[in-house]
Amino acid sequence: MASQLSYKDVQTAIDNDPALLQAIKEDPKKGLAQAATVAEEYRKETDPVIYRTVVYVLSAVLIITVLTIAVTLFKATVTNAPVELIVGLGSTALGALAGLLAPSPVRGEG
């Protein structure tokens, strides 16, 4: 089954590889076919920048949650603190990190 590529996917592939732009200039038909192949091989799941960004953000939320709970528990003047909201946020971040870092049973190796 052929996947549908958008213009943005092909443009990203061309922006990331200057050799593709040169190939398009030399032979547009072959160059665009090559750019489409590269864009089809690119997956957001395998992009390390996106993966690291998600891990950093979820880790930051988890650390902020733990610090907020610690301050809330040790500070006697806070009487109406939304502890349930803070715990829910931390639990969600921890679950998302666990799901992100666990190996996928669906995706095959290679």
Q: Quick one: the chain helix, strand, coil %, rounded to 5?
A: 75, 0, 25
User: Looking at residue 110, what is its pLDDT?
Assistant: 45
Q: What is the pLDDT of residues 46-94, one digit of tens each?
A: 667 777 888 888 888 888 888 887 787 777 555 565 777 777 888 888 8
Q: Where are the domains of the chain?
A: 7-42, 45-101
